[in-house]
Amino acid sequence: MATDALRTQVAAKWQSSFVRINRNQPGISGLLSFSQAWDIATEFVRPKDLNVEQPRNYDMKAIQAAYDVVNQSRRLPVLLETFLDQVHQKFYLIINEVEKFITEYERTSDPQVISKLVARLLLWYKTWMPAEELGPTITSAYTLAFQTRVFSALNSSFVQGFKTLCASTLPPSDPTAQAPAPDSALWEAFETLGLLDRYESIIASVGYEHIEAHVLANCTGQWAEPMLEGLRTWMSDKIVPWMLLMYARGATSTDDARAMLQNVGSRFDFHMAKTLCDLRTREIFDIIIDFPESAGALSDLKECLQRVDQRAALVQALRKANRKRLLHPGADTRLILTQYVATIKCLRIVDPPGVLLFKVADPIRRYLRERPDTIRCIVSNLVGDDESGDSLVDESEPIQPLQQPELEDYSDPNWEPEPIDAGPAFRTNKPSDVISTLVSIYDSKDLFVKELQVLLAQRLLAITDDNTEKVEKERRNIEILKIRFGEAALQVCEVMLKDMTDSKRIDGHVQSQKNSIVHPTIISKHFWPLLEASNIVMPGQFQTLQEQYAREFATFKPDKKLRWLPHLGTVHLELQLEDRTIEADVPPLEAAFIELFSEKSVWTIEELVAGVGSVDRMAAVKALLAWVDLGVLKEDGDDKFRLLEVAEEKSTARETSRAAPAAPELPPFSSVQQQQAEQMKVYWKFIEGMLTNLGSLPLDRIQTMLRFAPGYDQTVEQLGTFMEAARREGLVSVKDGVWKLTQKS
């Protein structure tokens, strides 16, 4: 079907090809010389099996001439293709070898096998590499083809081995061990083979893991000194040289190297900071316990947190640790307070604006609010009434007034916005003193002041024997507390102290009129906390003494009435028995009982109790046993006691057994809780009244209606808790949030 035109066209093509290859040589001599040159050229670039052929030396001139011929015929691209085809065909040689090495590695797990494999691959690569004279095109095409084939042959075992190999080049974290000599040849081989680019993430992870291991090994539990500086030095001494091989290859100057390292270096630094931060976050609870010995760890943590955004994790970890280790019934309130104070101090170091503290402190504060003895703990710490002697308050901290939450001063030139992770409830609380923070656990300081009064009353009444020194000490305490709580809040305490001095003065006057052995402390009922009442009536001579004293008092202060609290105080007694005289300082009840024994020598407990008015049987037995211990009384059958006019033999032994008199008990004051319970009883009457008359009411109505009750100060939440308690007792029922009284059946 070939037309003439087609035939002519093919003939023309043929002719031009022939002319090109024959290069205008006579006859076909050009064609022959091309064919020869082609053979030389292909032979020169042919991939050779390293295991079979020795590299030969070629006559470079002949080869050069041959290439010129090929080039003149414009057959060089074809030559290239032929070469690449050959590479592919021969590549099984390399694959076989790679597999052999990998199998061996899998058997021995020796990274040196991988090292050998890399060296071998490099040899293959270099041997097959076409001569430079052929130009960059062929070189890059060859490199691409070679790497593609090699990578496809490398499996996961190689990756693992490669990682181990990289790790073995790292300096050991043990500072005494000799670092392996930098093996730059190996890294060059990696680079030439393109392994660095391909496995960069693996190399980086080797670095990360190494850093992690180093940080964990050197910093765990080491809180005294900041570690970050040391770690940075270690990085620049040990890790940077290692990184230079990989990341700064080809750097000509140090500046060059620094620029190349900057990116990866900051990644490594970040990782180090993160590792340290994670470690400290895990340890944070114990770090706080160790404070202030752990200041180093805290400054590390602060620096790390600025670099790494782990604040939320820190808050979470600390809250979890607190929940698990601190806020449970087994922990002493004092302990919780101490840890809370330490937490405040620690987190102020870590995060001066206080956002972290706010988040962590919230559960602690809520928990403390539920503890019944928190206030007492804080207050006894305030007045230095602490057996353990280790005070929550730093002695060196200046005494300052309680700080009230204040509005932000936006005109302050140093004003800063709230940190971004601050919650909506966050208040910029200026770094305040510990006491202010503790007092702010509660909504008002009134509770503290009340508890303070109770405590002061106990301490004042426990003072005996005109011990003005102790009163002075209390006065000093109160003066200090005035600075904190304000003058007005402590006025009552002031009156209590004044009562103490007034008592002495009044007593002095009364004594001058009529000498008496009674020395009462005269307190103003209105200003002292509720004292638990007692129904003891002092018998015999005590009563006479009291009456005489009261008469004198009435003439001195006619507008005032003396009401005795006979269960408080002490009585110094001298008992004259037939064979001995006993002196003792005893509580009034014991004195009253022994006074009764002067009438007859055998009493039953019931008679004794009746003799002093009314007293709890337990207290009576306790008082009698005190005399039994002194060898004055003897238990004589059922509930009967007999006076021992003549000492019994064993009484001496008994006496020594009571080595030290028991510490005087503190006068029983109703605590704030009891007073509150009294208040709640009043409120209950009101609730009962309104529910009786108004039917059923929702909680908020009850709350507003309770404003009729004098001094009602509970929040609606507290009321809810209270109502819930009443419901459990079956007094009220609730339906759809509406409360009503349970019908009495």
Partner 1 sequence: MEQLTTSLAPPRAPSNKAAPASSNQQGAGSVTKRLSNELMTLMMSSSPGISAFPKSDGNLFEWIGTIEGAPGTIYAGLTFRISITFPPNYPYVAPTLKFETPCYHPNVDLAGGSICLDILQDKWSAVYSVQTILLSLQSLLGEPNNASPLNSDAAALWNSPDDFKAQLMRHYRPLKDDSA
> Among residue numbers 654 through 683, which ones bind partner 1 (CB under 8 A)?
682
The window from 332-340, 472-480, 637-645, 702-710 that contacts partner 1 (CB under 8 A) reads: 702-710
DSSP per-residue string spanning 219-257: HTT--SS--HHHHHHHIIIIIHHHHHHHHSTT--SHHHH
- Among 602, 666, 694, 716, the residue binding partner 1 under the rule CB under 8 A is 694
- Among 7, 88, 320, 560, the residue binding partner 1 under the rule CB under 8 A is 560
Exposed / middle / buried, residue 146 (Cβ in 10 Å: 0-12, 13-18, 19+): buried
Give how far Cα 395 sits from Cα of 169, 179, 392, 480, 534, Å. 55, 51, 9, 13, 41
Torsion sign across C-alpha atoms 477, 479, 483, 485: positive
Strands 571-576 and 581-586: antiparallel
- In the complex, minimum distance from the CB of residue 524 to partner 1, in angstroms, rounded to a whole number: 5
The window from 34-42, 329-337, 438-446, 556-564 that contacts partner 1 (CB under 8 A) reads: 556-564
Closest CB to partner 1 among residues 151, 527: 527
- In the complex, minimum distance from the CB of residue 439 to partner 1, in angstroms, rounded to a whole number: 28
> Among residue numbers 486 through 525, which ones bind partner 1 (CB under 8 A)?
499, 520-525
146, 125 Cβ separation under 8 angstroms: yes
193, 150 Cβ separation under 8 angstroms: yes
- In the complex, minimum distance from the CB of residue 696 to partner 1, in angstroms, rounded to a whole number: 5
534, 511 Cβ separation under 8 angstroms: no
- In the complex, minimum distance from the CB of residue 543 to partner 1, in angstroms, rounded to a whole number: 14
Closest CB to partner 1 among residues 610, 682: 682
The window from 274-282, 322-330, 336-344, 686-694 that contacts partner 1 (CB under 8 A) reads: 686-694
- In the complex, minimum distance from the CB of residue 392 to partner 1, in angstroms, rounded to a whole number: 35
Residue 556 binds partner 1, judged by CB under 8 A = no
Closest CB to partner 1 among residues 278, 507: 507
- In the complex, minimum distance from the CB of residue 459 to partner 1, in angstroms, rounded to a whole number: 17
- Among 391, 403, 696, 714, the residue binding partner 1 under the rule CB under 8 A is 696
Give how far Cα 380 sits from Cα of 372, 387, 435, 482, 627, Å. 14, 10, 12, 15, 33
Both structure tokens of 478 = 């109160």
241, 317 Cβ separation under 8 angstroms: no
**Number of CB atoms found within 10 A of residue 392's CB:** 18
* Contacting residues for 431 by C-beta, under 8 A, at least 6 apart: 348, 352, 354
- In the complex, minimum distance from the CB of residue 569 to partner 1, in angstroms, rounded to a whole number: 8
Backbone angles phi, psi at 353, to 5 degrees: -65, -20
Torsion sign across C-alpha atoms 524, 530, 532, 533: positive
The window from 214-222, 477-485, 632-640, 684-692 that contacts partner 1 (CB under 8 A) reads: 684-692
- Among 346, 439, 565, 608, the residue binding partner 1 under the rule CB under 8 A is 565
Residue 571 CA to residue 517 CA, distance in Å, equals 10
> Among residue numbers 704 through 743, which ones bind partner 1 (CB under 8 A)?
704-705, 707-710, 738, 740
> Among residue numbers 347 through 386, which ones bind partner 1 (CB under 8 A)?
none
Number of residues that bind partner 1 (CB under 8 A): 40
Exposed / middle / buried, residue 552 (Cβ in 10 Å: 0-12, 13-18, 19+): buried
- In the complex, minimum distance from the CB of residue 365 to partner 1, in angstroms, rounded to a whole number: 32
Closest CB to partner 1 among residues 729, 736: 736
- Among 58, 442, 686, 712, the residue binding partner 1 under the rule CB under 8 A is 686
Residue 538 binds partner 1, judged by CB under 8 A = no
Residue 340 CA to residue 393 CA, distance in Å, equals 12
- In the complex, minimum distance from the CB of residue 686 to partner 1, in angstroms, rounded to a whole number: 5
Closest CB to partner 1 among residues 16, 513: 513
- In the complex, minimum distance from the CB of residue 409 to partner 1, in angstroms, rounded to a whole number: 38
Closest CB to partner 1 among residues 195, 687: 687
Both structure tokens of 558 = 């006619």
Closest CB to partner 1 among residues 211, 456: 456
734, 723 Cβ separation under 8 angstroms: yes
Closest CB to partner 1 among residues 159, 518: 518
Residue 74 binds partner 1, judged by CB under 8 A = no
- Among 178, 656, 693, 745, the residue binding partner 1 under the rule CB under 8 A is 693
DSSP per-residue string spanning 611-629: HTB---HHHHHHHHHHHHH
* Residue 634 DSSP SS3: strand
Give how far Cα 566 sits from Cα of 286, 653, 676, Å. 52, 32, 26
- In the complex, minimum distance from the CB of residue 487 to partner 1, in angstroms, rounded to a whole number: 19
Closest CB to partner 1 among residues 22, 521: 521
- In the complex, minimum distance from the CB of residue 645 to partner 1, in angstroms, rounded to a whole number: 34
DSSP per-residue string spanning 386-411: -SS---SS-TTSPP-PPPPP----TT
Which residues of the chain form contacts with partner 1 (CB under 8 A)?
A: 499, 520-526, 557, 559-565, 568-569, 682, 685-686, 688-690, 692-698, 701, 704-705, 707-710, 738, 740
